Structure 1
Amino acid sequence: MAAPPAHDGVRAAVAYGDVARGVALKLKYGGRLGCADTMARAMMRLMPSDADLLIPVPLHRWRTWSRGFNQAALIARSLSRASGTPSDVELLRRVKATPILRGLGPKGRAKAVSGAFALAPDAQAILRGKTIVLIDDVHTSGATANACTRVLKRGGAARVILLCWARVLHDAEAD
């Protein structure tokens, strides 16, 4: 691969399609918070056995404020309860508001999330040598996962594995 991903693998419970899209949209925009538990149950079978910490992809504070929650954080909490692996929703932060990525190509997505993530002040001591499972709802181009992974690895994480509800295959577009 000419440009390998920064992370150490992607695990997705389902391929992105009509059903996966419907569940993700019910959670994200419909406020159906129970969908996070549904997603986590499907994702649980893919949890890495050596996972030390679950970290959700963060939303910018303004998006969290307008939506009322971070869907990845809800999924991570549910996975944490089911697996016994701790989760930390404060360790990785989105410090730059980014546009909605829908409709942007891979290069546009990468540019939009560049510099968008940072670690909490005490993160390095927590991350050092750990296997991190980065939690997200939908994996599209990999731009967000790569940006998060770079920050986590610079902070000392040994491995970062992305675990998501759905993965977009081919040219399907996620909402």
Structure 2
Amino acid sequence: MLQSALRLIYPPRCVACGEPVESDHALCARCWGELDFVTGLVCDACGVPLPGEDTGDPVWCDDCLAGPRPWSRGRAALLYRGRARGLVLAFKHGDRTDLARAAAGWMLRAGRPILGSGMLVAPVPLHRWRLLRRRYNQSALLSRGVAEGAGAEHCPDLLVRIRATRPQEGMSAEARAANQAGAMAVEPRHRGRVPGRTVLLIDDVMTSGATLGAAAGACLAAGAAEVRVLVLARVAKAE
């Protein structure tokens, strides 16, 4: 009764534009159509869309073939452009933490092929000074939702940044890798949770993969058997 009354007063709204929708944490039809969800054939390592038909066999993009990733498999929910870019920026810099639940659902759907039992789910960390300025780690909000939806163990502070890094916008792939090298480590009190496990790393955006590579390297150095990655949005080269 109370729930029905509240819905009359506060009907569900599209998480992107605010138009009325049928359920909470959902998109209206127009916004759904404006988001570039990643579907079909994708690179099994980084999740970028590929031409061709998905036959169920793993394939890899040219970048991942030329420079193998330190993680084994990866997926992305969206392409980082248009409406999706605006949502990610609002979530990351605009205090739109309410987007986390919907975004985690999109990620769970995209990540279904790489999810497995016994996984340890962890976010890419922010440096403490950046966390202080932003007040929340958007990747940790996503990782909590993914872990809950997958029924997996969640460790929001598995990784720590042991040095600050420069903002990476405009950097080349090589500069990004150098910027992130050695920047992360497994938090000492969690080292016993990693050996022999598959770690699923969560981040909001993958561009070159340098940040996720550094995080994956830290997990492998601590004894992880395998690292997989799942991101909300993937930057793809212009066609």
Q: Which TM-score applies when normalising by structure 1?
A: 0.93
Give the letter for the 2:227 counterpart: V
Match of 1:12?
76
Match of 1:134?
201
Aligned partners of 2:117, 2:96: CA distance in 1, in Å? 31
Higher relative contact order (CA 8 A, sep 6+): 1
Give the letter for the 1:130 counterpart: R
Can you give the 5+ residue segments of structure 1 that lack an aligned partner in the other structure?
A: none
User: Is the 8 Å Cα contact of residues 50 and 131 (structure 1) preserved in structure 2?
Assistant: no
> For 1:37-61, what per-residue CA distance to the aligned partner results, in whole angstroms no more than 9, with x for missing partners?
1210101121412351111000000
1:84 Cα offset (Å): 1.7
> For 1:9-37, what per-residue CA distance to the aligned partner results, in whole angstroms no more than 9, with x for missing partners?
22001122112211111111110101111
Q: Secondary structure at the match of 1:118?
A: strand
Distance 1:130 1:171, change over 3 A: same
2:163 aligns with one of 96, 107, 110: 96
Aligned partners of 2:66, 2:175: CA distance in 1, in Å? 19
Runs of 4+ that moved beyond 3 A: none
Larger of the two Rg values belongs to structure: 2
Aligned length: 172
Give the letter for the 1:141 counterpart: S
CA-atom RMSD in angstroms: 1.5
Q: Which TM-score applies when normalising by structure 2?
A: 0.69
Percent identity between matched residues is 38
Can you give the 5+ residue segments of structure 2 that lack an aligned partner in the other structure?
A: 1-64
> For 1:48-79, what per-residue CA distance to the aligned partner results, in whole angstroms no more than 9, with x for missing partners?
12351111000000000000000000101111
User: Is the 8 Å Cα contact of residues 123 and 155 (structure 1) preserved in structure 2?
Assistant: no
1:2 Cα offset (Å): 4.1
1:80 Cα offset (Å): 1.9
